[in-house]
Amino acid sequence: MKEFQVNVKTPDGMMDCFVCHPEGEALPAVLFYMDVPGIREELRDMCRHIAEQGYVAILPDLYYREGKVRFDLSKGEEELQKMFAMGSTLTNQLIMRDTEGLVEYCKSSNIITDKIGCVGYCMSGQFVVAAAGSFPSDIKAAASLYGVRIVTDKPDSPHLLADKIDAELYLGFAEHDPYVEDFVIPDLTASLDANNVTYTLETHPGTEHGFCFKQRPSYDEPAANKVWDILFDLYKRTLN
């Protein structure tokens, strides 16, 4: 396995990214959009797991505009509030500018084929759906796990891009999630159906928000393993 850091050029500067992939022939890329706690070894390990399945996994530091931002949540409530405040600075418009840079990096790389997938958790559920709608000729698979703000009343709500999506989507939700409003799943389903998007949407029984992350109290190993199987089936269908 080969791994390295690379600075990807975006319209707003140079974005630090962790990249890992098996050595050998060119492979499809999977963009891993971080959740609100940001870059940490847990996410790098998840990228390594993706890479082991035969992909170039790319983990961008979406907080790069503010420098190297890291949070120590063991410090308590004050650090938690800083984290949420930082996360609130990221908008769909900003992350689509970052995605533009990531897509161009993939296109120019001799280790990546012409197929790109993506995955996002929590905060980044909105970003992967927006990316699928904003880059339909490039992104062929997008997966959101307990994604937030996919449906809002704002003009940049990702579900409004459903008519432009060409990718296959996977949308997995937790059964108990205070961060996902009751209207999200029915409104998102209606939008995707109206625009003939190929997708799977499901709620994982007995799970809480964050169930895919091993370091969270809400980690649910059977559900998390099921999600990995679903993701790799999705990528195999659409990227290989």
**Percentage of residues in the chain with pLDDT exceeding 70?**
100
Q: Are 29 and 59 in contact (CB under 8 A)?
A: no
Classify residue 77 as exposed, middle or buried by CB count within 10 Å of its CB (0-12, 13-18, 19+): exposed
Sorted by where each starts, the structural domains of the chain and their CATH numbers stand as 2-239 (3.40.50.1820)
Q: Are 58 and 17 in contact (CB under 8 A)?
A: yes
Residues 6+ apart with CB under 8 A from 45: none
DSSP H/E element including 18:
strand 13-21
Mean per-residue pLDDT of the chain: 95
**Percentage of residues in the chain with pLDDT exceeding 90?**
88
pLDDT at 84: 83
pLDDT at residue 71 tops 80: no
Can you give the pTM of this predicted structure?
0.96
Query: At 75, is the pLDDT very low, low, confident or very high (cuts 50, 70, 90)?
Result: confident
Neighbouring CB atoms inside 10 A of 65's CB total: 15
- Is the backbone of residue 67 left (phi > 0), alpha (psi -120 to 50) or beta? left
- Which residues, in sequence order, are bridge partners of residue 77? none
pLDDT at 80: 79
